[in-house]
Amino acid sequence: MPVRPGKSDPTERFEKIWQVVRRIPYGRVSTYGRVARLAGLPGRSRFVGLALRQTPVGLSLPWHRVINASGRISLPKFRGHYAEQKTRLIAEGILFRNEKVNLLRYGWPNV
Closest Cα to residue 20, out of 88, 1, 28, 84? 28
* 109 near DNA, judged by CB under 7 A: no
What's the closest the beta carbon of residue 26 comes to DNA, in angstroms? 17
* 70 near DNA, judged by CB under 7 A: yes
Residue 67 in contact with residue 26, Cβ under 8 Å?
no
Q: Which of 32, 86, 89, 107 touches DNA (CB under 7 A)?
A: 32
Identify the three-state secondary structure at position 30: strand
* 19 near DNA, judged by CB under 7 A: no
Sign, CA dihedral 86-91-96-101, equals: negative
Applying CB under 7 A, which residues contact DNA?
10, 13, 31-34, 43-50, 52-55, 63-64, 66, 68-70, 74-75, 81, 85, 100
